[in-house]
């Protein structure tokens, strides 16, 4: 396998060697190729899973759902990615557009691959228990679980970028500042108890026995002596979360709301058995009200 993975194999690299993925994104190394591989693999996986969803109604619905499900994720990404990038810019993060796109594509790729891994289970219930309400709730639960795992990868990758300083403003250059000198006691060597007070022409004309301070003739005495010591910067407290990480969780909620509303706009994906095929339905109600209505209908 190449350094970037190829095609569907990129998901194996994400799951087995995610640290190399994060490091590649940090270094901005061949991100175009990596993003292309993730885009292709996620689109194929979502198309396969979309075909399973539409198979409940008809072959034609399966084909349209195979197109609409990848479109749902990619359009949601196109709507929300600028917000994520601007969130980071506002708070001084140094994350580039390519890095942000690669991080979100990791989450979408994991989501898509987990969803297609659940496709045989969904197909099994489609064949053995073809109940529309149950089938719809089952697949909504599968997509929700897959999305949660994918977003967990996103937050984990963002934490790695935070450790490399990409989610914090660039450090300002150090400016030397006057700081109070720290006094340090240094030993003073022993000297005679008396010292010449005057010297004339190299010969002592008058010697005055002037007593020196007690500390001067005490070999063990320590006299305060100013020594400048460089001050070290204050360390960053462990666990400190930058504002951009907090906004990431807000962005995830925004991504979820946009995605669910867009899914409601692009429906049907399953196709109600009592209605004929239609590419789109009229926009009425909302996704959450429909899910609650479906749950109530099961009891």
19 found inside a domain: yes
Q: Are residues 188 and 277 in the same domain?
A: no
Per the CB < 8 A criterion, the answer to whether 202 and 248 are in contact is no
Is the pTM higher than 0.95? The answer reads no
* Per-residue model confidence as pLDDT tens digits over 82-112: 988 888 788 777 888 899 999 999 999 999 9
Domain check: are 54 and 201 in the same one? no
Q: Is residue 173 part of a domain?
A: no
Q: Give pLDDT, residue 238.
A: 47
Measure the CA–CA gap between 71 and 58, rounded to whole angstroms.
Answer: 20
Judgement on whether residues 15 and 128 belong to the same structural domain of the protein: yes
Alpha-carbon span 67 to 59, nearest angstrom: 13
Query: Do 13 and 114 fall within a single domain?
Result: yes
State how many domains the chain has. Answer: 2
The predicted pLDDT at position 296 comes to 81
Specify whether 198 is located in the same domain as 274: no
Residue 34 falls inside a structural domain: yes
**Do 64 and 187 have their domain in common?**
no
Q: What's the pLDDT score for residue 48?
A: 96
Instruction: Please list the ranges in the chain whose pLDDT falls under 50.
Output: 1-3, 181-186, 188, 191, 193-210, 212, 214-217, 223-239
Residue 231 lies in a domain: no
DSSP characters over the chain:
--TT--GGGHHHHHHH-HHHHHHHHHHT-SHHHHHHHHHHHHHHHHHHHHHHHHTTT-HHHHHHHHHHHHHHHHHHHHHHHHHHHHHHHHTT----HHHHHHHHHHHHHHHHHHHHHTHHHHHHHHHH---HHHHHHHHHHHHHHHHHHHHHHHHHHHHHHHHTTTTSPPPPPP-----PPEEEEEE-----S---S--BTTB-S----PPPPHHHH-TT-EEEEEE--PPPPPPPPTT---HHHHHHHHHHHHHHHHHHHHHHHH--SS--TTS---S-----S-HHHHHHHHHHHT-
155 shares its domain with 188: no
User: Which domain range does residue 40 map to?
Assistant: 7-168+242-297
User: What pLDDT shows up at residue 5?
Assistant: 52
**25 Cβ contact partners less than 8 Å away, ≥ 6 residues apart:** 31, 34, 99, 102, 103, 157, 161
| Residues 149 and 261 both lie in one domain | yes
Q: pLDDT digit string (tens) for 148-195? A: 999 999 999 988 888 887 776 655 555 555 555 444 444 545 545 444
């Amino acid at each position: 396998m190449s350094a970037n993975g190829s095609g569907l194999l990129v998901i194996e690299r994400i799951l087995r060697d995610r640290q190399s993925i994060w490091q590649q994104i940090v270094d901005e190394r061949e991100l175009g190729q990596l993003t292309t591989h993730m885009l292709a693999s996620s689109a194929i996986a979502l198309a396969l899973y979309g075909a399973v969803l539409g198979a409940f109604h008809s072959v034609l619905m399966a084909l349209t759902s195979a197109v609409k499900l990848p479109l749902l994720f990619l359009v949601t990404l196109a709507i929300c990615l600028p917000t994520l990038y601007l969130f980071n810019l506002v708070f001084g993060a140094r994350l580039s557009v390519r890095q942000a796109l690669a991080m979100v594509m990791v989450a979408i790729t994991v989501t898509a691959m987990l969803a297609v891994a659940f496709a045989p289970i969904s197909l099994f219930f489609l064949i053995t228990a073809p109940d529309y309400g149950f089938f719809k709730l089952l697949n909504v639960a599968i997509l929700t679980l897959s999305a949660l795992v994918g977003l967990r990868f996103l937050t984990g990758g963002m934490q790695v970028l935070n450790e490399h300083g990409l989610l914090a403003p660039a450090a300002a250059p150090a400016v030397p500042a006057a700081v109070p000198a720290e006094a340090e006691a240094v030993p003073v060597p022993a000297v005679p108890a008396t010292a010449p007070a005057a010297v004339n022409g190299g010969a002592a004309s008058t010697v005055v026995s002037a007593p020196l301070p007690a500390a001067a003739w005490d070999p063990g005495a320590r006299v305060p002596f100013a020594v400048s010591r460089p001050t070290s910067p204050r360390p960053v407290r462990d666990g400190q979360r930058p504002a951009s990480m907090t906004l990431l969780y807000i962005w995830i909620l925004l991504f979820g709301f946009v995605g669910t509303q867009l899914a409601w706009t692009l429906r049907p994906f399953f196709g109600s058995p009592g209605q004929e095929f239609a590419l789109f339905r009229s926009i009425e109600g909302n996704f959450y009200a429909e899910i609650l209505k479906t749950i109530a209908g099961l009891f």
